[in-house]
Amino acid sequence: FNNELQRSEKMEIISELAASVAHEVRNPLQVTRGFIQLLAEKQQNSDKLYLNMALDELDRASNIITDFLTFAKPEVGKVATLNLLNEFIHIEGILVPMANLQGGRITVNIPDNLFIKGNSSKFKQASINIIKNGIEALNGDGDIHIWAYTANNDIFIHIKDTGEGMDEEVLKRLGEPYFSNKTKGTGLGLMVTFRIIEVMQGEIRFKSKKGAGTEVIIRFPSADSFEE
Ligand code: ADP
Ligand code: MG
């Protein structure tokens, strides 16, 4: 009996489960949130406080799903050549409604001829976690600009926001599990992102200034120069 095969079958089952749990749990969370919100609006007394605390906890639960499992797919680590523009067309589909809801504009400038190697679901998860942080940093209004190009057999992706920015203290701690400065944050988004980028043999860098904004620069080997 082949042990490796057994292991990869197990991984496949786990990831299939995770994907369906994320999908199945998100809906009842949203429905419950709706009912509790209705109740909270009707209450005047101290019950309102409890109901609002319940809402915050429900939001935290659905943020965990967003940071881990937005694009979870029952196909573990299937590595393919990814057209960067294609990937970002899908990513935009999720992020533009999110930006519209929270305020802020997203512009994307990616040429059609950039290819990287990786798992499509995981790459999208990593990107969405970065961009979601950008949207949240805007606190209601501002811009996210995303662009990409190739240089010396590498693909560079820039994600720049005009949000609140970070100081040295925060920059040093990025990617640390459970490090979050948000009331409803999970502190898991960048940890997941860093891991995915590492597996893809990429690199991530942050340039940020408190009060001015943040620029995230990601480098990947281009698909044709990729080494196993
Ligand atoms: P979460 O978003 O749940 O807080 P993350 O791992 O995604 O967890 O981010 C950790 C922390 O890093 C955030 O709480 C925030 O303080 C900081 N951060 C990350 N990206 C940005 C950004 N673009 N602008 C400002 N702060 C950021
Ligand atoms: Mg985040």
In tens, the pLDDT along 132-191 reads 999 999 999 999 999 999 999 999 999 999 999 999 999 999 999 999 999 889 999 999
> Is pLDDT of 121 > 70?
yes
Verify whether ligand 1 is closer than 6 Å to residue 137 (CB atom).
yes
What pLDDT is stored for residue 83 in this prediction?
98
Residue 176 CA to ligand 2 centre (angstroms): 12
Residue nearest to atom 27 of ligand 1 (CA): 133
> Is pLDDT of 72 > 80?
no
Q: How many residues does the chain have?
A: 228
- Pick from 136, 137, 126: nearest CA to 189: 126
Q: What are the residues whose beta carbons fall under 8 Å from the beta carbon of 130, sequence distance 6 or more?
A: 159, 189, 190, 193, 216, 218
> With a cut of 0.90, is the ipTM above it?
yes
pTM for the model stands at: 0.89
- DSSP sequence for 67-78: HHHTT--SSTT-
Residue 182 CA to ligand 1 centre (angstroms): 8
Q: What are the residues whose beta carbons fall under 8 Å from the beta carbon of 192, sequence distance 6 or more?
A: 67, 68, 125, 126, 129
Model pLDDT for residues 1-51, shown as the tens digit of each residue: 556 667 777 777 877 787 788 888 888 999 999 999 999 999 888 889 999
Mean pLDDT over 208-216 rounds to 97
What pLDDT is stored for residue 158 in this prediction?
98
